Every structure is written in structure tokens, then in C-alpha cells.
Amino acid sequence: MAELRVTANGSTRVLPFEKGARLSEVLKNAGIDCLRPCGGRGVCGKCAVELHGEVSPPDPMEEKAGTRLVCRAILLGDAEAILPETRRMESIELGRYRKLVPRDPMPGKYGAAIDIGTTTVALSLFDLASGECLAECGVLNPQASVSSDVMGRIGAACSGELSRLQTLVTGAVDGLLDRASAEAGIEKEKIESLTVTGNTAMLYLLTGRNPETLSHAPFEADCLFDGTVELGGREAYLPPSMHAFVGADITCALVSSGLCERSEASLLADVGTNGEIALWKDRKLLVTSTAAGPAFEGAGISCGVGSVRGAIDRVELHNGELTVSTIGNAPAVGVCGSGLIDAVAAGLQRGDIDETGAMEEDDLPLTGAVRLLPRDIRAVQLAKSAVAAGILTLLETAALDPETLEKVYVAGGFGSHMNIESAVAIGLFPAFIRGKQEILGNAALLGAAELLLDRGLRREARRIASLAEHVDLGGNPRFNGHYMDEMMFPEV
């Protein structure tokens, strides 16, 4: 047996292993998770590691990345690995709570609303008698150590990693309950009830359900939830999903927005790794989802990071020069989604990037060593065109003149922090939304909180889910046409 000396976050462990093992497997077997946004294909470069000793020479993917990668390196004998320090997520969108009045709360004195997103997990703790929010906290979804996107996790679950994915997310929930109860000064055991929302795949993985039916055409879910389960010894209500890829999170967002209670034509968009969109017109609800990819969450971008301390979250153009701000006003370590949108918009305005996405120079420097590469611009084009084309396809399917759209609700963590003008400037949102937008914050978490405090709202959630008509974008000629058109950036 050979030995691997691993240093991570200031502590060191010695791990025995059989020669010829891949570094990622040795770390995984020891319970050490390392982010692998690309699912271990070596294309994102995010699992960089300092590696010494008897190891394989760099393979082509590592040579391209210019560093050793956890997912590619083979251990041939005794070795040492120094992992990068784990950065804590500093800006996770939690609830924007209006005064919530308990009407028919779930059982117990205390309960929690939880939103399991692809990127983050957020929790709000409530006094079920008064409706007071006692604590809020969030964490990076640890399943990102397996893959940054939904399909990657579905594939991993179908390949034998379902139990691990379930353990990762239930562990995250348990950790948030620890933090919230400590912040509120109550015993964790007194939290008796939960309402847990998320996209359909995340709820499959939370409950340990095999997502095989979500992995291939016709992509139909064999479970859309809407029921209670036992989670960590607590009663947990899982609201109804509307489709395999339009989940309970959108149901909850629609509940909290009140969109389906009004007569006006309205649209709701939750932009993240998946762009989930709902359109309400003439008492009919059209829903769809489009694979934007993880670019807006910082993954797949050469200098991309999540909402960590030091992430560039704002970029502005002043007197022809780019100025940046960072989370926590710390030295820049990379760029998160909102900063990425601003940077591309500023690059377009200054002429560094043209409408085709071509760059004047080899890169676009933001500050220090943080810069955007041509492949980053391409990733933004692919992501923004998918979202814009999804919106336009729903409007066209509903035969709705965009100018008659009265309200556009922007939900989700990314949507809460991005500059709408920058989003319009790059074509993420069509220009007609200007003046019609309302930023909801984490509407999924707010809807989950309302369902926690009023079990009667479950009827409304079911009504919304039953109204939903899914518009499939796969092979849809309307979507394909819009997608190609929206790949171009708007002319400045």
C-alpha cells in the first residue's frame, strides 16, 4: 500500500491506497469532496491541486489547463496533495419575507422552509405559532462535488452514486438545521416540521429515488411528489412538481408571486443552471425549462467562482475604464454570475466584444489576474440565448404580443443580484421587459415558507401544478430558430 498525504483547509491526513488509483477516487473514499463542475471530464479546470511525488505525468486535459487536476491525476506511489482552501459562499439569496401569518401551520412549535437548488441550499427557520422568521442560512450544495449540473448528477445517480448524492444533500440540510437552531437559541430537536422545495431532480436525489426516467427521452418523471416524507426524523412536505424539468421550486415561486390569481398576462423566469419559465395568459399556464448551463453560477468560466468573498459581483464602465466591486470588498479571486453579465455588457459597450462574440484582444482584463477569455464569452452566448429563446418561444406559443405582457417576475438567487440593464444589453432578457420587471428574490423559499405556515395553500399548489401545460423545447422549430437568432449579442 502506498500513502497519500493530503492537506486541506489547514489540516493534514495520511490516506493509504493501492498504486494506480485515480486521485479523485482516493479523496472520495476518504470522504474528502472536491468540486468537479464538469463531472470529472477535465474540461473546467476547477479541481486544480498542488501535487507531488510518484504520480502520472500530466495528461492532455491537464496540459491544457496548465495545472494538475484531481479528476485526472493517477497516483503511482507515495504522494502529497495540497487542496485549495474551501471558500465559503457569502451571498446566498434567502427569503424576502413580507409578514407571514400562520393559518394552518404544520405540526410543532418550530419548522423550517428549505429550498434545495442545484447550486445552493437555503433554509429559513420559523416559529409556527407567530410566523416569525427566527434564522436564515445557506450553503453551497455539496452535490457540486459530483457535478455542477442536473444532468451530470442524474447520470451519476444512475451509475451507482445515488446513495452518495442523497447523503451529501441530507447532510447539508442537517448542517443548516444545526446552524439555524443555534442562531435562534433553540434546541434542534424542537424543529418538528419541514417544507422542502427544489427542482424535480433535486427532490429525487433528496428522497433517494432512482432518477432513471429523467435521464433519457421522453424525460418523464415517474413521481411529481406532493406529499409528506420522513426526513431526519421530521415530517417533511414536498410540494408538487409540474414536470420532470419544471419543479416544485417553480410551483412555490408561483404560489408566492400570486401570478396565477390575477387576470393580467405575466411571465416568471428563474434563471440559473436551468432557466425555468412560466407564462400566464387567459387563465392558462405554459411552463418550460431550458438548459442554460452553469455559466451564470460561475462554473465553466475560466475565472468563474460562486458568490464567495472576493468574487467580482459588479462591473461598470467609467470614462472608458472598467471598474469592479467584489463581495466583501476583498481582493478579487474571480467573477460570479452577476459580475460576468456586467463585464460582458461593458465589453460590448466599449467595443471589446462585437455582436458575434468576437473579441478585439485575446482576453478582457477585469482586474489583477481576473480576465475573460473567448471561450467564456462563448459560454455566456450559449447560456443567454437559451434563456431568451425559451421566453420568446413561450410567448409565440401563446400567441402573445410581447408589448401586451404586463409583468415579468424575476426569481432566484442569480436573478436577484444581476443588473437588469446588463441582462438586456447582452440579450439575456428581451428589451421589452424594461419597466415591467419585479425582482422576487428566492421566491421558491418564500413559497415553501407560506406552505409551511398554511397547509391550506397545498390546494393552491396542486391547482397551479394541474394547470401547467409543458412546452417541450427539444426539437421545437420555434425554439431552434430563436436560439440561433439570440446567439448574437444586441448591437450597441
Looking at the structure, tell me whether residues 48 and 114 fall in a common domain. Answer: no
Below-50 pLDDT ranges, the chain: 91
Rounded Cα distance between 285 and 266, Å, is 10
Residue 387 maps to a domain? no
Residue 478 maps to a domain? no
Per the structure, the complete domain to which residue 69 belongs is given by 2-82
pLDDT for residue 103:
95
- Amino acid identity for residue 228 in this structure: T
pLDDT tens for 96-147 read 556 789 999 999 999 999 999 988 899 999 999 999 999 999 888 999 888 8
pLDDT for residue 312:
93
Looking at the structure, tell me whether residues 119 and 230 fall in a common domain. Answer: yes
pLDDT for residue 95:
56
Q: Which residues pair with 318 in a beta bridge?
A: 321
pLDDT for residue 4:
92
Where among 231, 248, 265 does a domain terminate? 248
CA trace torsion 183, 186, 190, 192 (10° rounding)? -30
How many folded domains does the chain comprise?
Answer: 2
Residue 18 maps to a domain? yes
Where among 248, 281, 309 does a domain terminate? 248
Looking at the structure, tell me whether residues 143 and 189 fall in a common domain. Answer: yes
Residue 233 maps to a domain? yes
pLDDT for residue 396:
96
pLDDT for residue 36:
64
Q: Cβ–Cβ contacts within 10 Å for residue 284, how many?
A: 12
**CB distance 121 to 202 below 8 Å:** no
pLDDT for residue 93:
53
pLDDT tens for 161-198 read 999 999 999 999 999 999 999 999 999 999 999 999 99
Judge residue 9's burial from the number of C-beta atoms within 10 Å of its C-beta, 0-12 exposed, 13-18 middle, 19 or more buried: exposed
**CB distance 437 to 268 below 8 Å:** no
Rounded Cα distance between 422 and 91, Å, is 20
pLDDT for residue 275:
86
Residue 466 maps to a domain? no
Cell numbers found for residue 362:
485575446
On the CB side of 235, how many CA atoms lie within 13 Å of its CA? 13
Residue 411 maps to a domain? no
Where among 248, 267, 285 does a domain terminate? 248
pLDDT for residue 486:
95
Residue 329 maps to a domain? no
pLDDT for residue 43:
67
pLDDT for residue 185:
97
Burial 247-283 (b: 16+ CB within 10 A, else e): bbbbbbbbbbbebbeeeebbbbbbbbbbbbbbbbbee
Cell numbers found for residue 268:
416568471
Give the residue from 64, 111, 120 showing the smallest Cα distance to 93.
Answer: 120
Residue 444 gets the label, from left (phi > 0), alpha (psi -120 to 50) or beta, of alpha
In the predicted model, what is the mean pLDDT of the chain? 90
Looking at the structure, tell me whether residues 233 and 154 fall in a common domain. Answer: yes
Residue 444 maps to a domain? no
Cell numbers found for residue 96:
424576502
pLDDT for residue 285:
97
Q: What is the CATH number of the domain that holds 216?
A: 3.30.420.480
Q: What is the CATH number of the domain that holds 43?
A: 3.10.20.30
Q: What is the pTM of this model?
A: 0.83
Give the residue from 182, 178, 166, 186 showing the smallest Cα distance to 231.
Answer: 166
Looking at the structure, tell me whether residues 191 and 118 fall in a common domain. Answer: yes
